[in-house]
Amino acid sequence: MKALVLGGDGFCGWPTSLHLAAEGYAVTIADNLSRRAIAAQLGAPSLTPIRPIEERITAAKRVGDVEFAPLDVTDPVALQALLARLTPDVIVHFAEQRSAPYSMLGDAERRFTVANNVNGTNTLFSALVELGQRPHVVHLGTMGVYGYSDDLGELQEGYLDVRVAQTGRDVTIGYPANPGSIYHLTKCLDHTLMQFYAKNWGFQITDLHQGIVWGTDTAITGSDEALINRFDYDGEYGTVLNRLVSQAAIGHPLTVYGTGGQSRAFIHISDTARCVHLATGAPPEPGSKVQVFNQVAEVHNVGALAQMIADRMEAKVTHLDNPRKEAAANALRVSNAGLRSLGFAPHTLQDSLMDEIAATVGRYQDRLNRDVILSKARW
């Protein structure tokens, strides 16, 4: 099986590419390395010393069949040339600007995020139409497309069974989109684009609505320094659990926004790689709507997480004015029945996995730039 991994140099894409290679896929990683460039611009390169892509690929060849293709997914000519050469069986699409705070920094970042993400997804499917190729496309979406609430009960996977008040009829509709940032909005737009490509051209598409990814390495990326995964702790790209543990590890007060009453869904990075692998092997029936799996392991409350980490690591919690427009507190229940039915057995929050983050931060703390810990974005 040939897999094309778009965005395979990133935090989720790199370990997933290696996991797929170890499982026997011939993997082509395509990436324009924009994440590395943005990190340099922000003064917040990966805390871990990720290797230049050439060195990464040389080391990856010890894991399996892996090659690299420099590519901007929004470039239709280059993308079509790559697809024509590869004829992939499956495409995993990670290649988007993925930070909500970055997407809210200002005009340039709002427009870049929409142009890059939505255009990339459209360029991909349009190229496949032109070439007459119909690989299974697995797209990385986000839990944030639903908003974060249990007003409509436990979050089902992409669709909602409702009774229409006017007719009394029972129907299944797409879950109402409720994004909380420009970034999350692009994932809602991607989803609508993909529903159209599935309906009109019969694509088999899986959209993985993933929660907040935490952790550093997987067994494979941790096995060789040259394979080390990226680690972001800064105010724009660091995700909350990794930020809180890294802050505790360097004696910085833990930055809880607002009340800390926010509940969010989480998944460990090694489960990301496993879930994407499970999804690649389970395409929806041809002619069906986009298949949605909620790629999450568990739900946690931000304030409670911070307190738990502070207690374990003898750190202090500080409550900052919330720079985001979001509910001060919310309940959240999420179904992950789809991936569970494929064999997903989630890793939940464990002391050993949090210790791993703290140890990584301790090892590389000379590289940490304290000036970028606080977020500059305001909603």
Q: How far apart are CA 206 and CA 293, in angstroms?
A: 8
Q: Within positions 5 to 34, which residues make up the interface with ligand USQ, using CB under 6 A? A: none
Instruction: Out of 213, 278, 297, 299, name the contact with ligand NAD by CB under 6 A.
Output: 213
* Residue 10 binds which entry of ligand NAD, ligand USQ, none, CB below 5-8 Å type-dependent: ligand NAD
Token pair of 88, please? 């992939």
Distances (CA, A) of 318 to 247, 259, 310, 354, 376: 11, 10, 10, 20, 17
Q: What is the DSSP letter of 13?
A: H
- The distance of closest approach from Cβ of residue 370 to ligand USQ in the complex, given in angstroms and rounded to an integer, is 14
* Residue 240 binds which entry of ligand NAD, ligand USQ, none, CB below 5-8 Å type-dependent: ligand USQ
Residue 76 or 171: the one with the smaller Cβ distance to ligand NAD is: 76
Q: Within positions 333 to 362, which residues make up the interface with ligand USQ, using CB under 6 A? A: none
Q: What is the DSSP letter of 73?
A: T
Instruction: Out of 142, 270, 301, 336, name the contact with ligand USQ by CB under 6 A.
Output: 142
Q: Within positions 30 to 89, which residues make up the interface with ligand USQ, using CB under 6 A? A: none
- The distance of closest approach from Cβ of residue 287 to ligand USQ in the complex, given in angstroms and rounded to an integer, is 29
Residue 18 or 212: the one with the smaller Cβ distance to ligand USQ is: 212
For the four alpha carbons of 343, 341, 280 and 227, in that order, the dihedral sign comes to: negative
Q: Which residue is nearest to ligand USQ, using beta carbons?
A: 144
Of residues 88, 363, 133, 162, the one with CA closest to residue 246: 363
Would you call 216 a catalytic residue per the annotation?
Answer: no
| First-last CA distance in the chain | 43
Per DSSP bridges, beta strands 170-174 and 26-31 are: unpaired
Buried b vs exposed e over 162-174: b needs ≥16 C-beta within 10 Å?
A: eeeeeeeeeeeeb
Mark the segment that binds ligand USQ (CB under 6 A) among 107-115, 141-149, 218-226, 358-366.
Answer: 141-149
Number of residues that bind ligand USQ (CB under 6 A): 20
Instruction: Out of 240, 249, 353, 354, name the contact with ligand USQ by CB under 6 A.
Output: 240
Q: Is 140 in the site for ligand NAD (CB under 6 A)?
A: yes
Q: Is 101 in the site for ligand NAD (CB under 6 A)?
A: no
- The distance of closest approach from Cβ of residue 218 to ligand USQ in the complex, given in angstroms and rounded to an integer, is 18
Q: Is 98 in the site for ligand USQ (CB under 6 A)?
A: yes
Task: Count the alpha carbons within 13 Å of 246 in the hemisphere toward its beta carbon.
Answer: 30
Binding mask 78-97 for ligand NAD (x = CB under 6 A): ----------------xxxx
Binding mask 271-310 for ligand USQ (x = CB under 6 A): -------------------------------x--------
Of residues 20, 1, 13, 79, the one with CA closest to residue 277: 20
Residue 279 CA to chain centroid, in angstroms?
15
3-state secondary structure of 89: coil
Would you call 237 a catalytic residue per the annotation?
Answer: no
Q: How far apart are CA 265 and CA 49, in angstroms?
A: 28
Asked if 298 contacts 265 with a C-beta cutoff of 8 angstroms, the reply is: yes
Residue 200 or 369: the one with the smaller Cβ distance to ligand NAD is: 369
Distances (CA, A) of 68 to 5, 7, 37, 52, 272: 10, 11, 18, 12, 21
Would you call 316 a catalytic residue per the annotation?
Answer: no
Q: How far apart are CA 21 and CA 27, in angstroms?
A: 6
Residues 6 or more apart whose CB falls under 8 angstroms from that of 283 comprise 136, 204, 206, 291
Q: Is 268 in the site for ligand USQ (CB under 6 A)?
A: no
Mark the segment that binds ligand USQ (CB under 6 A) among 24-32, 139-147, 154-162, 163-171.
Answer: 139-147
* Residue 324 binds which entry of ligand NAD, ligand USQ, none, CB below 5-8 Å type-dependent: ligand USQ
Please give the residue ranges that form the binding site for ligand USQ (CB under 6 A). Answer: 98-100, 142-144, 211-212, 239-240, 243, 255-257, 262, 264-265, 302, 324, 326
Please give the residue ranges that form the binding site for ligand NAD (CB under 6 A). Answer: 7, 9-13, 31-35, 71-74, 94-98, 116, 120, 140, 142, 210, 212-213, 239
Q: Which residues are catalytic?
A: 142, 183, 187
